[in-house]
Amino acid sequence: MDDRLTALAGRRAVVTGATNGLGMATARALAQAGLRVVLAARNVELGEQRAREFGGDCEVLPLDLADLASVRAFADALDGPIDYLINNAGVFPHQHRRTADGFELGIGTNFLGPFALTNLLLPRIERQIVSVASDAHRGAREIDPEDLDLIRTRWTPPRSYARSKLAVMLWGLELDRRLRAVGSPISMMLTTPGWVASNISNKPHLGIAHKLVQGAASRFANDVDAGAQTTLYCLTEPIAPGSYVGVDGIWGLRGQPVLFGRSTAACDFDAAARLWAKAEKLTGTTSPIS
């Protein structure tokens, strides 16, 4: 066990998507290091199973980021202060579907749900927010806050995912700016885990394409424990607020955590401010910082 992680024992972390993949690996590492971990999970029964497997001090609460009513219920049910909020849950949408609130599934789950959750929990967060983005954000050259549902543009799974992750990057940029502006002790971090052999796109019905991707992932991708290291790095290392952490291997696919560069589009403060304003309207939530 990393001494830098066990030094955080007793602190409280909320991890979304904590039952599978990166979220499971992150929550497990934190619980085994002695942190008090809230497992935010769509499937509470599986969450309880994971809590038993992890050991330590784990609490399970239901959360579906594709349903803003669930997001609000989670925030209401969660008592007490939070040291770390880890926005890990995400989806790679294989079909053009909508959330319970009518948003395109990718943008709703990967950005608008976490945005609302963070706004609602921010008054109780004391140390750090980590949002898991992706270097797939480079696949989106811009984002139009007035067309988050991709109505004016042809919808494809990669385009949906890339735009949702660019939204996460821009949200992180604006949140970091706001936190700095008010002198907040809270830091905002962004990560990309590289290519991880997880179940984010685990759709066996895709047939041979799925088998090819899974086969390549088993050879060339990080496993979930290695992928979680970028998030844990943010919690344990003295890096600057607003940092984007990736991995040091070829093409950023696998390796050890390292500070990473982001796309030009992900550095656009004006676009970030416009996106933030639109997200507040769509989610009906506002940040306590301005």
DSSP result, 155-172:
--HHHHHHHHHHHHHHHH
pLDDT of residue 225: 86
Mean pLDDT of 208-221: 47
Top-confidence residue, 97 or 207: 97
Query: How large is the average pLDDT for residues 249-263?
Result: 79
Residues classed as catalytic: 161
Asked which of 50-54, 58-62, 78-82, 221-225 is least confident by mean pLDDT, the reply is: 221-225
- In terms of Cβ atoms closer than 10 Å to its own Cβ (0-12, 13-18, 19+), residue 253 is middle
pLDDT at 85 over 80: yes
Nearest to 110 by CA among 147, 163, 74, 146: 163
Homologous superfamily, domain 3-283: NAD(P)-binding Rossmann-like Domain (3.40.50.720)
Across residues 218-235, what is the average pLDDT?
Answer: 82
pLDDT for position 198:
59
CA distance 271 to 145: 8
pLDDT value of residue 202:
42
Q: Is the pLDDT of residue 276 over 90?
A: yes
Lowest mean pLDDT among 16-30, 39-53, 60-74, 219-233: 219-233
The mean predicted confidence, pLDDT, of the chain is 90
Alpha-carbon torsion angle 9, 11, 15, 19, nearest 10:
40
Percent share of the chain, pLDDT over 70: 88
Number of CB atoms found within 10 A of residue 166's CB = 28
**Whose CA is closest to 249, among 276, 230, 236?**
230
Of 117-131, 163-177, 190-204, minimum mean pLDDT range: 190-204
107 in Cβ contact with 283 (< 8 Å): no
- Ranking 25-39, 128-142, 158-172, 215-229 by mean pLDDT, the lowest is 215-229
| Tens-digit pLDDT profile for residues 133-154 | 999 999 999 999 999 988 888 8
CA distance 103 to 119: 18
Task: Say if CB 254 and CB 230 are below 8 A apart.
Answer: no
For the chain, the structural domain boundaries read 3-283
pTM equals: 0.91
**Average pLDDT of span 182-208:** 71
- Yes or no: say if 163 and 134 are a contact pair by the CB < 8 Å rule: no
Find the length of the chain.
290
Classified as helix, coil or strand, 239 is coil
Q: According to the per-residue pLDDT averaged within each range, which of 51-65, 144-158, 205-219, 245-259 is highest?
A: 51-65
- Residue range 9-35: average pLDDT? 97
CA 213 distance to own-chain centroid: 22
119 by Cβ neighbours in 10 Å (0-12 / 13-18 / 19+) ranks as buried
Q: Name the pLDDT band for 195 (thresholds 50, 70, 90).
A: low
Query: How high is the pLDDT of residue 191?
Result: 96
Share of the chain above pLDDT 90, in %: 80
d(CA 55, CA 124): 25
Specify the higher pLDDT residue, 201 or 77. 77
